[in-house]
Structure 1
Amino acid sequence: MNGIIYGDQNIFLPSHGNFGRYLLDNILKFKDKIALINGASDEKITFIELAQRAVNFTSYLKEQGVKQNDVVALCSENRIEFMVTVIAVFSSGATLACINNTYSDDEITHSLDIAKPKYIVLSPVTHQKYDKIIKSRKDIEKIIVFENTKNTDIINFDDIVSKRNVDVNTYKHVDLKGGTALILYSSGTTGLAKGAKITHTNLITSAQQPLPSTRDLSTIFVAPWSSTMGLICSLREIVKGKTIAFLSRFNERHYLNAIQKYKIAILTVAPPVVVILCKSTIAKEYDISSVEIIHCGGAPLNKSVITELKSKYPHIKYLVQGYGMTEATGSITAETEDEFKEGSVGKIVPGNIIKIVDVETRKILGPGQTGEVCVKGAAQFDGYIGKDSKDEFDEDGFYKTGDIAYYDEDGYFYVVDRIKELIKYKAWQVPPSELEDLLLQHPAVKDAAVSALPDVLAGELPIAFIVKQPNAKVTERDVVEFIDKKVSPWKRLRGGVIFVQEIPRTSSGKIIRRKLREMLPKLPASKL
Structure 2
Amino acid sequence: MSVISYIDGVFYGGSNFPIPSHMNFGRLMVDKLLENKNKVALISGDTGEKISYVDLAKKIVNVATALSKLGVRQGDVVAICSENRIEFYVAIIAVYYIGAVATFLNMAYTKDEVIHTVKISKPTFAFLSPSTQKLHYDTLKNHTTITKFIVFGDSATKEISFDKLTLDDPNGNVMPADFYGRAQTALILYSSGTTGLPKGAKITHLNLIATTFQTLSLPDNSRPVLTIAPWCNTMGIMTLNGFLRSGKTVVFLKRFDENLFLQVIEKYKVGEVLIAPPVLILLSKSPNVSKYDLSSVYMIHSGGAPLDSDVIALVKARLPNLRNVTQGYGMTESTGSIATELDAAPKQGSVGFVTEGIVVKIVDVETRAILGPNKRGEICLNGLVLFDGYIGKERGDDFDEEGFFKTGDIGYYDEDGFFFIVDRIKELIKYKAWQVSPAELEAVVLLHDAVKDVGVIGTPDSEAGELPTAFVVKKPGSNVTEKDILDFVGTKVSPWKRLRGGVKFIEEIPKTGSGKILRRKLRELLPKNVKSKL
Alignment TM class, shorter chain as reference: 0.7 to 0.9
Following the alignment from structure 2 to structure 1, what is the Cα–Cα distance between the partners of residues 185 and 323? 39
Q: Is the 8 A contact 2:118 2:144 kept in 1?
A: no
Q: Report what 1:173 is aligned to.
A: 176
CA shift digits 1:112-164 (9 cap, x unpaired) = 11111010100011111112112214621211100133732x10011111353
Q: Is the 8 A contact 2:344 2:352 kept in 1?
A: no
What RMSD, in angstroms, separates the aligned Cα atoms of the two structures?
3.3
Tell me if 1:382 matches 2:388.
Answer: yes
Q: CA deviation at 1:456?
A: 8.2
Amino acid at match of 1:98: F
Following the alignment from structure 1 to structure 2, what is the Cα–Cα distance between the partners of residues 402 and 499? 28
Q: Is the 8 A contact 2:41 2:52 kept in 1?
A: yes
Q: Report what 1:267 is aligned to.
A: 273
The verdict on how the C-alpha distance between 1:115 and 1:31 changes in structure 2, with shifts beyond 3 A counting, is same
Q: Report what 2:527 is aligned to.
A: 499
Q: CA deviation at 1:340?
A: 3.8
Following the alignment from structure 1 to structure 2, what is the Cα–Cα distance between the partners of residues 44 and 339? 36
Q: Is the 8 A contact 2:328 2:351 kept in 1?
A: yes
The verdict on how the C-alpha distance between 1:489 and 1:107 changes in structure 2, with shifts beyond 3 A counting, is farther
Q: Report what 1:507 is aligned to.
A: none
Q: Report what 1:465 is aligned to.
A: none
Q: Is the 8 A contact 2:362 2:377 kept in 1?
A: yes
Q: Report what 1:10 is aligned to.
A: 16
Q: Report what 1:21 is aligned to.
A: 27
Q: Report what 2:161 is aligned to.
A: 156
Amino acid at match of 2:336: G
Q: Is the 8 A contact 2:294 2:319 kept in 1?
A: no
Following the alignment from structure 1 to structure 2, what is the Cα–Cα distance between the partners of residues 319 and 159? 43
Q: Is the 8 A contact 1:184 1:326 kept in 2?
A: yes
Q: CA deviation at 1:368?
A: 1.6
Following the alignment from structure 1 to structure 2, what is the Cα–Cα distance between the partners of residues 374 and 190? 19
Amino acid at match of 1:25: D
CA shift digits 1:315-362 (9 cap, x unpaired) = 111111110000000001112145543431111111110001111111
Amino acid at match of 1:179: Q
Q: Report what 2:499 is aligned to.
A: none
Secondary structure of residue in 2 paired with 1:276: helix
Aligned-residue sequence identity (percent) comes to 45
Amino acid at match of 2:204: T
Match of 1:183 among 188, 196, 200: 188
Once the two structures are superposed, the pairs formed by residues 263-342 of structure 1 within 5 Å of their partners are 263-337=269-343, 340-342=346-348
Following the alignment from structure 2 to structure 1, what is the Cα–Cα distance between the partners of residues 164 and 96? 20
| Count of matched residue positions in the alignment of Structure 1 and Structure 2 | 463
Q: Which ranges of structure 2 fall in alignment gaps of 5 or more residues?
A: 1-5, 429-437, 444-454, 461-465, 476-503
The verdict on how the C-alpha distance between 1:294 and 1:189 changes in structure 2, with shifts beyond 3 A counting, is closer
The verdict on how the C-alpha distance between 1:219 and 1:189 changes in structure 2, with shifts beyond 3 A counting, is closer
Q: Report what 1:144 is aligned to.
A: 150
Following the alignment from structure 2 to structure 1, what is the Cα–Cα distance between the partners of residues 467 and 102? 33
The verdict on how the C-alpha distance between 1:372 and 1:214 changes in structure 2, with shifts beyond 3 A counting, is same
The verdict on how the C-alpha distance between 1:215 and 1:118 changes in structure 2, with shifts beyond 3 A counting, is same
- Mean CA deviation greater in 242-251 or 330-339: 330-339
Q: Report what 2:211 is aligned to.
A: 206
Q: Report what 1:395 is aligned to.
A: 401
Amino acid at match of 1:290: S
Once the two structures are superposed, the pairs formed by residues 444-523 of structure 1 within 5 Å of their partners are 453=470, 497-501=525-529
Following the alignment from structure 2 to structure 1, what is the Cα–Cα distance between the partners of residues 224 and 467? 40
Q: Is the 8 A contact 1:56 1:166 kept in 2?
A: no
Following the alignment from structure 2 to structure 1, what is the Cα–Cα distance between the partners of residues 217 and 125? 36
Secondary structure of residue in 2 paired with 1:420: helix
Q: Is the 8 A contact 2:130 2:154 kept in 1?
A: no
Following the alignment from structure 1 to structure 2, what is the Cα–Cα distance between the partners of residues 341 and 108? 41
Q: Is the 8 A contact 1:212 1:335 kept in 2?
A: no
The verdict on how the C-alpha distance between 1:338 and 1:115 changes in structure 2, with shifts beyond 3 A counting, is same
Secondary structure of residue in 2 paired with 1:136: helix
Following the alignment from structure 2 to structure 1, what is the Cα–Cα distance between the partners of residues 278 and 284? 10
Q: Is the 8 A contact 1:224 1:248 kept in 2?
A: yes
Secondary structure of residue in 2 paired with 1:402: strand
Q: Is the 8 A contact 2:339 2:353 kept in 1?
A: yes
Following the alignment from structure 2 to structure 1, what is the Cα–Cα distance between the partners of residues 48 and 334? 33
Q: CA deviation at 1:196?
A: 0.5
Following the alignment from structure 1 to structure 2, what is the Cα–Cα distance between the partners of residues 392 and 295? 29
Amino acid at match of 1:453: A
Following the alignment from structure 1 to structure 2, what is the Cα–Cα distance between the partners of residues 81 and 377? 32
Amino acid at match of 2:135: K
Amino acid at match of 2:269: K
Secondary structure of residue in 2 paired with 1:333: strand
Following the alignment from structure 2 to structure 1, what is the Cα–Cα distance between the partners of residues 247 and 68? 27
Following the alignment from structure 2 to structure 1, what is the Cα–Cα distance between the partners of residues 507 and 295? 41
Runs of 4+ in structure 1 displaced over 6 angstroms? 165-168, 422-426, 449-452
Secondary structure of residue in 1 paired with 2:232: coil
Q: Report what 1:63 is aligned to.
A: 69
Q: Which ranges of structure 1 fall in alignment gaps of 5 or more residues?
A: 437-448, 459-476, 502-515, 523-528
Tell me if 1:110 matches 2:116.
Answer: yes
The verdict on how the C-alpha distance between 1:139 and 1:188 changes in structure 2, with shifts beyond 3 A counting, is closer
Q: CA deviation at 1:304?
A: 1.2
Question: Structure 1 length normalisation: TM-score?
Answer: 0.81
Amino acid at match of 2:139: I
Amino acid at match of 2:326: V
Following the alignment from structure 1 to structure 2, what is the Cα–Cα distance between the partners of residues 225 and 337? 25
The verdict on how the C-alpha distance between 1:81 and 1:18 changes in structure 2, with shifts beyond 3 A counting, is same
Following the alignment from structure 1 to structure 2, what is the Cα–Cα distance between the partners of residues 230 and 263? 21
Amino acid at match of 1:183: I
Secondary structure of residue in 2 paired with 1:309: helix
Secondary structure of residue in 2 paired with 1:192: coil
Following the alignment from structure 2 to structure 1, what is the Cα–Cα distance between the partners of residues 399 and 467? 27
Q: Report what 2:40 is aligned to.
A: 34
Question: Structure 2 length normalisation: TM-score?
Answer: 0.80
Q: Is the 8 A contact 2:380 2:407 kept in 1?
A: yes
